[in-house]
Structure 1
Amino acid sequence: MLHKPVDGEVHVHYGQIYVVSDDEQPELEEAFAGQTSGLCGAAVPGALWLVTGLHTGSVGFTVEVHAQEPELGPEWEDVVEVSFRPASADTGLLEWGGAAWYALGVAETDHRVRYCARGMDAGRELDTRLDEEQVDRYLLQFWPAPPAPDRVLRQTSKCAAYWHETTREASARAEAR
């Protein structure tokens, strides 16, 4: 069984978009606290902070809700996984500043989330998309699973490498305090 509550383009700003259960977007430092992967911050219960290559404009974005772990396609250049448990039945994808909200229909149970990216470096280079063709695309997959540590499955872009390293350094500084 597959449910696709989002499949098209969404608007990002500051290279960010969120999954929220209570309409509150997390703060960056809180979202990635203690993680090793820097593309999908899952440290705040009921929320995810998603990083994109494009700074401002519309990116290709698909959300899939599965009954079991889906296969990982070879087309995805950067891939991370995190654990997530919605804080309410009203979980949705939230654009920066609350510009739009898309209901996801994710059950209030433990999930594994896979965040996949293609074209992050091209998005970072373009910076702002106005009339240009789409350069970066993202896939966010949910399926029921027990909690597990975050992990990087693939890293090919410079953009993803930067965010992973930044997150690891911030986590190390926090642990040293």
Structure 2
Amino acid sequence: MDKTTSPRATWQGTVHADFAQIELFLGDDGDAPDSTYGITMASDAGPEGVTLTVPRQYGAVDAVITLHSEEPPLDEAWQSVAEFPLQAGSDAELLGFARAGDVQLELPVGAELRARYVVEDAEAACQYDEDGEGATNMRVLLQFWPAEARPGAVVRSIGSWSRYWTWGSDCPYVVRELAEVPEPERLRTLLDSVISARVGVAAQILAGEERPRKCVTLYAEELFTQAAKTHDAEGAGVYAEYIDDRAALNELIDERAAVASR
């Protein structure tokens, strides 16, 4: 492996999931204020915790955690990847349910880091709820490297399990990416991007399924929120028609779904 991508430190272990969750504890004075990106979310335990979602409801999860000097490359085979900024505290660790199989980490205390959480082969792993005959081993990766704080992101979401968890969680990121598109064309561009990025969604919307429509609406609502900060307190101006009349927004979603399905 090239020296520039070789990890400075590696920790490995097995933790035990409960209700499809394991926990990253950043230690005393640790903080991850922007960590909710579908397969990762802020922990109810406090700002020093991040809940990591896994495809297995219960049972063993193999984990490999690495600390790098710079951002490591993305593997094209990874199906589900999220990143978020954090500040490391002392005594960081990866925890399973009731501390089953906790892995002690030695992250640089007080350092600004970026974390990348990877679920390998999620589609195969989610076929089994518990360890047992025929169950596949599953593995997650956590990568850390020094980086100035910037918004987190859903980096990759491939397969039904990943799309289920990340759908809508990347709203702020996706909307910000279209900041250079002029209003009100940005709404149509946003809807086109969201609908076309997910196989089968256009057909589901046109067939009258409510869940994909509601998820697409989340992105529109995030745009309205961001536009409000730019234009006026009510976000009116350019999007008043759709804010005040959700039937009009639904008609626009149907229109863009029809375009995507051609």
SS at 1:121's partner residue?
A: helix
Counterpart for residue 52 of structure 1: 54
Q: How far apart, in 2, do the equivalents of 1:98 and 1:58 lie? A: 12
Q: How far apart, in 2, do the equivalents of 1:54 and 1:134 lie? A: 10
Identity %: 26
| Deviates most, 47-56 or 37-46 | 37-46
Return the structure number with greater strand share: 1
- TM-score normalised by the chain length of structure 2: 0.55
Encode CA deviations 1:36-77: one digit per residue, 9 max, x unaligned. x21122475322211000111112321111121111112211
Q: How far apart, in 1, do the equivalents of 2:103 and 2:167 lie? A: 30
Cα drift, residue 79 of structure 1: 0.9
- Given that 1:5 and 1:104 are in contact with CA atoms closer than 8 Å, whether structure 2 keeps it comes out as yes
Q: Aligned letter for 2:118?
A: C
Cα drift, residue 157 of structure 1: 2.0
SS at 1:122's partner residue?
A: helix
Specify which of 3, 8, 15 is matched with residue 2 of structure 1: 8
* CA pair 54-61 structure 1, distance change in 2 beyond 3 A: same
Counterpart for residue 82 of structure 1: 84
Cα drift, residue 123 of structure 1: 2.1
Specify which of 121, 124, 136 is matched with residue 138 of structure 2: 136
Give matches, 1:1-177, under 5 Å. Answer: 1-6=7-12, 8-22=13-27, 35=36, 37-42=37-42, 45-86=47-88, 88-108=89-109, 109-165=111-167, 167=169
* CA pair 62-51 structure 1, distance change in 2 beyond 3 A: same
Q: Aligned letter for 1:118?
A: E
- Given that 1:32 and 1:41 are in contact with CA atoms closer than 8 Å, whether structure 2 keeps it comes out as no
* CA pair 132-59 structure 1, distance change in 2 beyond 3 A: farther
Cα drift, residue 16 of structure 1: 0.7
Counterpart for residue 26 of structure 1: none
Show structure 2 runs of 5+ residues with no match: 1-6, 172-214, 226-262
* CA pair 95-33 structure 1, distance change in 2 beyond 3 A: same
Return the structure number with greater helix share: 2
Q: How far apart, in 1, do the equivalents of 2:69 and 2:50 lie? A: 20
**Which has the higher relative contact order, 1 or 2, with Cα contacts under 8 A spaced 6 or more apart?**
1
Q: Aligned letter for 1:40?
A: T
Q: Aligned letter for 1:96?
A: F
* CA pair 141-34 structure 1, distance change in 2 beyond 3 A: closer
| Deviates most, 101-110 or 118-127 | 118-127
Cα drift, residue 133 of structure 1: 4.5
- TM-score normalised by the chain length of structure 1: 0.78
Show structure 1 runs of 5+ residues with no match: 24-30
Cα drift, residue 3 of structure 1: 0.8
